[in-house]
Amino acid sequence: MATLDEGHHYLIAPDPAKRGLTRRVTGRDQNGDLSEISVVEEKPLTIFLNSQEIVTAMTIGDYPEYLALGFLRNQGMLSEEDSVTGVDFDAELETVVVRTAKITDHEEKLKKKTRTSGCAVGTVFGDMMEGLSGLKLPQAEVRTSWLYSLSATINRTPSLYLEAGAIHGTVLCQQDRPLVYMEDVGRHNAVDKIAGWMLSERVGAQDKILYTTGRLTSEMVIKTALMGIPVLASRSGFTAWGVEIAREVGLTLIGRMRGQRFICLSGEDRLVRDADPAQIGDESARHGRKGARR
Amino acid sequence: MATLDEGHHYLIAPDPAKRGLTRRVTGRDQNGDLSEISVVEEKPLTIFLNSQEIVTAMTIGDYPEYLALGFLRNQGMLSEEDSVTGVDFDAELETVVVRTAKITDHEEKLKKKTRTSGCAVGTVFGDMMEGLSGLKLPQAEVRTSWLYSLSATINRTPSLYLEAGAIHGTVLCQQDRPLVYMEDVGRHNAVDKIAGWMLSERVGAQDKILYTTGRLTSEMVIKTALMGIPVLASRSGFTAWGVEIAREVGLTLIGRMRGQRFICLSGEDRLVRDADPAQIGDESARHGRKGARR
């Protein structure tokens, strides 16, 4: 079980200076002047479950093992009963293989599906939905003072986003402390990397808050629910199905969080309003994170 | 061939008032007050090529036929030689079936792939890359005055984005005129819907400009190149691989377009600088589109 070092907020924080995550490229700006900017890397990574090829994700390339583990877990392809015997990343082949002691249910299902229709693509989403049936997220408290504090800390944390833009961030938090901050170009890779880290470190979910810069779509809500995290907050907006699923599983869903403003569309009962919004003020254009959809 | 009505900018524009695209949901804001907002719909749509299930896309639900046609075309699953005999959307089953006169190359390939590895997921991206080899986009001119005008018009066009947020937009343009403005929750659905419209209406690509609110990732660049459009512009930022591919195929790639500012990282030779950036000024916070990643 990972423990929190009180002196440092993050167990894992972005490392914008790390080699291989960004590249300098040169172009010309609106005045025709040469301009050099940082852009994020984006590489294919093919995930295998034992000998079964599952998916090729487009990723920034850090933490491939967490990404593979978390992806398989969040898709319901890897259950708690499956004993993981190894996770092997091959940088040259751009593959990561998750090995289990026994053949998994999912591989059996894929074989059956392949025999009947010739392809398993359509099952992916169905499998995720299946994992939700009957799920009720645990009781928990979330104070609005924590949310404001988390939002302020995360937006000011040095990140690939601040360095190069064009990237999404997801942060696993506990009360007002951000613990693990993952970024990725791929839509849901950041949250999958967090799921992989939680699985590896055997971190409990019931007292956690997930913060994301991305939109609160059905897939984001389903992943958070399958991870067992009772609270999901975002700067961005909602989709109708995301809200519907959150209400079904009792997930606290908070969106459009900017400055003092937010709206809670599900699981309002967990919210403890201990902060005065007027004291928080509005988000200044200068300190706001540009990158989020309303 | 669709012709442009000079009196109206758009051949297809967003219809934010259309039933079934947004839903009103009620929650509580930061002050605990009841608040009702519009959120966009998000539904699964399973695309078939003849009897072959290809993919389940999460979409807002408009123009399912264009989405299916454009997706298959952009994935290289449907070639120009394939004669499309029908596109059947079934709202209840949430499916769309694209029928061709003969079995397509892609279905043959899928069968082979399925026999050898049991699943075809990993081939999707490979197929797209394959279509790029040897591709060189045509000569074209793009005036900076057109780009500034397009950007201003598009940002002020009534849209689902302005109504409900949490959605991406892609606009097919010719010179300074936006022609077809598609929106979707799904990452690349908006551009696929444009590809489907172009295919249906037999619209030429060589004199078009594609404008997107989304990031300039490899997939966005590949799709634009496969569509034969020589210019791609965005408010958002780049990924390294997106830039690399654009340079290989000679695509003009313009990003971080806000107010007078932009940077061109590929295909600079097509740019004609006929506007004075200083006359454009900076984007005001009020008129800026919030939803884009730097």
From A25, A46, A53, residue closest to B265, measured CB to CB: A25
What average pLDDT does range A48-65 have in this prediction?
Answer: 92
What is the rounded average pLDDT for all residues in chain B?
A: 88
A207 touches chain B (CB under 8 A): no
Q: In chain B, which residue's Cα lies nearest the Cα of A237? A: B166
Chain A residues with beta carbon closer than 8 angstroms to that of B291: 236, 292-294
pLDDT of residue A113: 56
From B39, B110, B217, residue closest to A118, measured CB to CB: B110
Chain B residues with beta carbon closer than 8 angstroms to that of A183: none
Does B122 sit within 8 Å of A110, measured CB to CB?
no
Answer yes or no: CATH 3.40.50.2000 is held by domain B43-132.
no
What is the rounded average pLDDT for all residues in chain A?
A: 88
Helix (H) or strand (E) holding B209: strand B208-212
pLDDT of residue A111: 64
Q: In chain B, which residue's Cα lies nearest the Cα of A20? A: B240
Window 60-99 of B: residues touching A by CB (8 A cutoff) are: none
Q: Which residues pair with B183 in a beta bridge?
A: B169
Q: Which residue has the tokens 């938090």?
A: A173
CA distance B9 to chain A (A): 26
From A185, A239, A290, residue closest to B39, measured CB to CB: A239
Tens digit of pLDDT for each residue in B195-245? 999 999 999 999 999 999 999 999 999 999 999 999 999 999 999 999 999
pTM, rounded to two decimals: 0.91
pLDDT of residue A125: 63
Query: Number of Cβ pairs closer than 8 Å across A and B?
Result: 224
CB atoms within 10 A of CB B81: 9
Pairing of strands B177-184, B52-59: unpaired
Does A52 sit within 8 Å of B237, measured CB to CB?
no
Q: Examine the pLDDT at B115 and tell me if it is beyond 50.
A: no
CA distance B164 to chain A (A): 8
What average pLDDT does range B36-42 have in this prediction?
Answer: 96
Helix axes B218-227, B123-132, angle to 10 degrees: 50
Local structure of residue A270 (DSSP, 8 states):
G
Tens digit of pLDDT for each residue in B244-275? 999 999 999 999 999 999 999 999 999 999 99
Q: Are B219 and B201 in contact (CB under 8 A)?
A: no
Chain B residues with beta carbon closer than 8 angstroms to that of A25: 238, 240, 243, 265
Q: In chain A, which residue's Cα lies nearest the Cα of B109? A: A118
Domain ranges for chain A, please list them: 43-132, 142-280
Q: Does residue A32 come out as left (phi exceeding 0), alpha (psi in the -120 to 50 range) or beta? A: left
Q: Examine the pLDDT at A3 and tell me if it is beyond 50.
A: no
B190 touches chain A (CB under 8 A): no
Window 29-58 of B: residues touching A by CB (8 A cutoff) are: 29-32, 35, 37, 39-44, 46, 52-56, 58
A165 touches chain B (CB under 8 A): yes
Chain B residues with beta carbon closer than 8 angstroms to that of A264: 27-29
pLDDT band with cut points at 50, 70 and 90 for residue B122: very low
Strand, helix or coil at A246? helix
Q: In chain A, which residue's Cα lies nearest the Cα of B144? A: A30
Q: In chain A, which residue's Cα lies nearest the Cα of B147? A: A30
Q: Examine the pLDDT at B285 and tell me if it is beyond 70.
A: no
pLDDT of residue B49: 93
Does B42 sit within 8 Å of A240, measured CB to CB?
yes
What average pLDDT does range A7-35 have in this prediction?
Answer: 92
Q: Are A6 and A25 in contact (CB under 8 A)?
A: no
Does B215 sit within 8 Å of A185, measured CB to CB?
yes
Q: How far out from the chain centre does Cα B173 lie? A: 12
Tell me what percent of the residues of chain A surpass a pLDDT of 70: 87
Chain B residues with beta carbon closer than 8 angstroms to that of A239: 39-42, 166, 185
Q: How far out from the chain centre does Cα A256 lie? A: 17
Task: For residue A108, give both structure tokens.
Answer: 């059996």
Does B122 sit within 8 Å of A53, measured CB to CB?
yes
What average pLDDT does range A257-278 have in this prediction?
Answer: 97
Chain A residues with beta carbon closer than 8 angstroms to that of B165: 236-237, 256, 293-294
Q: What is the DSSP string of B39-91?
A: EE--EEEEEEETTEEEEEEEE--S-HHHHHHHHHHHTTSS-TTS-EEEEEEET
* Among A53-62, A70-79, A101-110, B283-292, the least confident range: B283-292
Chain B residues with beta carbon closer than 8 angstroms to that of A266: 27
Does A118 sit within 8 Å of B53, measured CB to CB?
yes
Task: For residue A189, give both structure tokens.
Answer: 């890779």
What is the dotted CATH code of the domain comprising B142-280? 3.40.140.10
B120 touches chain A (CB under 8 A): yes
Does B285 sit within 8 Å of A185, measured CB to CB?
no
A277 touches chain B (CB under 8 A): yes
ipTM of the complex: 0.89
* Among A250-254, B173-177, B187-191, the least confident range: B187-191
B185 touches chain A (CB under 8 A): yes
Q: In chain B, which residue's Cα lies nearest the Cα of A26? A: B265
Domains B43-132 and B142-280 fall in the same CATH topology: no
B204-235 burial, b if ≥16 CB within 10 A, otherwise e? Answer: ebebbbbbbbbbbbbbbbbbbbbbebbbbbbb
Strand, helix or coil at A232? strand
Q: Examine the pLDDT at A91 and tell me if it is beyond 60.
A: yes
Which one, of B3, B106, B53, B71, lies nearest residue B226 by Cα? B71
pLDDT band with cut points at 50, 70 and 90 for residue A241: very high
Which one, of A73, A90, A74, A71, lies nearest residue A82 by Cα? A73
Q: Examine the pLDDT at B172 and tell me if it is beyond 60.
A: yes
Q: In chain A, which residue's Cα lies nearest the Cα of B143? A: A30
Helix (H) or strand (E) holding B280: helix B277-280
Q: Are B119 and B180 in contact (CB under 8 A)?
A: no
Task: For residue B170, give both structure tokens.
Answer: 């892609």
Tell me what percent of the residues of chain B surpass a pLDDT of 90: 74
